[in-house]
Amino acid sequence: MASNAPVGKPTDMSSPRLPKVAGIDSTVPAPPDTVAPLPGVPSAAPPSDAALPPGVLIQDRLASWVSDLTTLHELTERLIKTDSLDGALREMLGAGAALVGARRGMAVLEPADGLGPTSTIGLGLAHADLGTIETVPRGSGSYGRLLDGLPEADPPGAGLPGNGPTAPRRPARVPEPIAIRDVRTEEGLDPRHREVAARLGYAASYALPLATEEAGRLGAAVWLYDEPAEPDERRRHLIGLYGRFATEHLARLLQVERARARVATVAEELLPSRLPRVPGVRLAVRHLTGPQGGGDWYDALPLPEGALGLAVGSVSGTGPSALAAMGRLRASLRAYAVMEGEDPVAVLSDLELLLRLTEPARSATALFAYAEPAQRRIVLAGAGHAPPLVVGDHRTEFVETSLSAPLGMLTCWEAPSVELSPAPGETVLLYTDGLLRRTGDATDRAFARLHAAASSVPRTDRSDPGAVADHVLRTLLPGGLDPAVEGEDVVLLAARFE
């Protein structure tokens, strides 16, 4: 079979070629078998010169295998460095195009268990082109036939002897790739398929299932040829090996992505679903979570006689245990704030005693502020926490708070409270240490950058606490919070006093 040979054109002029790797030309034709072939390596087409000495034939064949292995090694090394589903899909799509000799393609992520996430990305195709392809009935498109025809792997014990949780699982059936050499002449295609192919200018396709027997179906990839063609046996073998590796990598990233989503959901459920409306003050909050979910939290709760309690804090550790501790700490602080919120020192003292008795191995920082918006008066106390920042038309300054240890670090915590009176139109920013540490700067430098960011808020935005918070975040973290980078969460609570 010709390698990617367009109909009616010379093969050597139109056949896509693999890139040269390590000085070896991977397109050198392999000789006929003179010895037993290695397991798993497809036989090569016979060369034009069959009279070459056996030693030369074996050397050429080994060179071809080394080149293929080197190519696969480099491509898989690049793939394994991706740490997101989108990045892995794009890398897989580009590498696959080089292996099968195509210029364009698309990958569809659609896990068979229906739990998502789902996405479609293209290579050399605009967003509108992807939408056009999706108008083809799934039963006619090659990737759609792969997606609809591949079940997910059975749960443990399904269909096999023994129904216990340790029973073996029955692997899913993995379908064969689908090659359409010529869309114009292929039998059984929907007319819409031929119409879309003509509109987008492709004449052939090769679709590969993104599936393994253990992982089940994750999706499918399809590469498009400008002229009638299909990959030869060697290219099919290479893309098959690469596709299995890519699927296993995608399966791992999928589990990580789902775990992150679950952690983020739990974290959001443990925090206020909405901010209260209290006369005389407007509130806004920004909460950014890391990949494992940290223990940063915030709270805003209305108190008797028109008062308002504001709190931010962080517990040590990451992951589910830190989230659980954060939820317990926040719930306890709410109870103490209702009972004795007008005395922030008493609130934090009770919280420190509870933490020391119930979780002696954990520490936490916290800041609680008792605000009376009508009088524009705030009384606050902090335990190992960064000081608030007041932002207004005539000043941008940190609140001078006394130096105190985090909760759980001393046998008895106590620190004096601080009182401040924000002017009309000023915004008080409460934040967690994650905002400073995520900058990557030393502490003093991070504080200076935070002060500069708050000072540079445009006057037109200072009437909106949400706009103030957004400007500070954009200035300090211009690239946003990379969810793939380990680190603390970021909380920024803004309270603008009328």
Instruction: For residue range 141-179, list pLDDT tens digits in order.
Output: 888 888 886 444 444 444 444 444 444 445 557 889 999
Q: Which residue in 156, 186, 193, 153 sits closest to 171, CA to CA?
A: 153
Give every strand in the sheet of 281-288, ordered side by side: 281-288, 490-497, 427-431, 389-391, 396-398
CA distance 69 to 347: 65
**Quick one: pLDDT at residue 18?**
45
CA-based torsion, 431, 428, 348, 276: positive or negative: negative
Quick one: 278 and 254 in the same domain? no
245 belongs to a structural domain: yes
For residue 41, pLDDT over 50 is answered with no
Given 239, 262, 285, the domain boundary residue is: 262
Q: How confident is the model at residue 57 (pLDDT cuts 50, 70, 90)?
A: confident
Mean pLDDT of 40-52: 48
Quick one: 208 and 89 in the same domain? yes
Quick one: 225 and 205 in the same domain? yes
Interacting residues of 33 by C-beta distance below 8 A, sequence separation 6+: 43
**Quick one: pLDDT at residue 487?**
65
**Quick one: pLDDT at residue 215?**
79
**Quick one: pLDDT at residue 387?**
93
Q: How confident is the model at residue 409 (pLDDT cuts 50, 70, 90)?
A: confident
450 belongs to a structural domain: yes
CA distance 85 to 87: 6
Mean pLDDT of 174-189: 90
CB 244 within 8 A of CB 132: no
Quick one: 371 and 334 in the same domain? yes
Mean pLDDT of 82-103: 94
293 belongs to a structural domain: yes
CB 122 within 8 A of CB 130: yes
Quick one: 485 and 436 in the same domain? yes
Mean pLDDT of 446-466: 95
Q: Which residue in 76, 24, 17 sits closest to 241, CA to CA?
A: 76
CA distance 4 to 181: 9
Which tokens is 230 given? 């299909």
2 belongs to a structural domain: no
150 belongs to a structural domain: yes
385 belongs to a structural domain: yes
CATH of the domain at 479: 3.60.40.10
CB 466 within 8 A of CB 282: no
Quick one: 224 and 299 in the same domain? no
Mean pLDDT of 239-248: 95
**pLDDT, mean over the chain:** 83
CA distance 498 to 492: 19
For residue 43, pLDDT over 90 is answered with no
CB 492 within 8 A of CB 367: no
**Quick one: pLDDT at residue 230?**
92
Which tokens is 15 given? 């056949």
Given 227, 262, 297, the domain boundary residue is: 262
Query: pLDDT digit string (tens) for 94-151?
Result: 999 999 999 999 999 999 888 889 999 999 999 999 999 999 998 888 888 888 864 4
Q: Which residue in 6, 465, 461 sits closest to 226, CA to CA?
A: 6
Quick one: 322 and 193 in the same domain? no
428 belongs to a structural domain: yes
Quick one: 202 and 299 in the same domain? no
Quick one: 192 and 254 in the same domain? yes
The better pLDDT of the pair 161, 349 is held by 349
C-beta atoms surrounding 42 within 10 Å? 14
ω into 31 cis (within 30 of 0): no
Quick one: 248 and 298 in the same domain? no
Query: pLDDT digit string (tens) for 437-450?
Result: 888 899 999 999 99
For residue 240, pLDDT over 50 is answered with yes
Range of the domain at 433: 274-497
Given 228, 262, 296, the domain boundary residue is: 262
7 belongs to a structural domain: no
Residue with tokens 């082109």: 129
Q: How confident is the model at residue 29 (pLDDT cuts 50, 70, 90)?
A: very low
CA distance 92 to 97: 8
Mean pLDDT of 318-325: 80
CA distance 341 to 303: 8
**Quick one: pLDDT at residue 216?**
85
Quick one: 293 and 376 in the same domain? yes
| Number of domain units in the chain | 2
Quick one: 197 and 290 in the same domain? no
CATH of the domain at 239: 3.30.450.40
Amino acid at 353: L
**Residue positions counted in the chain:** 498
CA-based torsion, 304, 305, 306, 309: positive or negative: negative
What share of the chain has pLDDT > 70, as a percent?
81
Min mean pLDDT across 15-24, 289-298, 462-471, 486-495 is at 15-24
Q: Which residue in 312, 346, 342 sits closest to 326, CA to CA?
A: 312
Mean pLDDT of 353-379: 91
For residue 402, pLDDT over 90 is answered with no
The H or E element containing residue 351 is: helix 344-358
Whether pTM exceeds 0.85: no
Torsion angle of C-alpha atoms 47, 49, 55, 61, degrees rounded to 10: -20
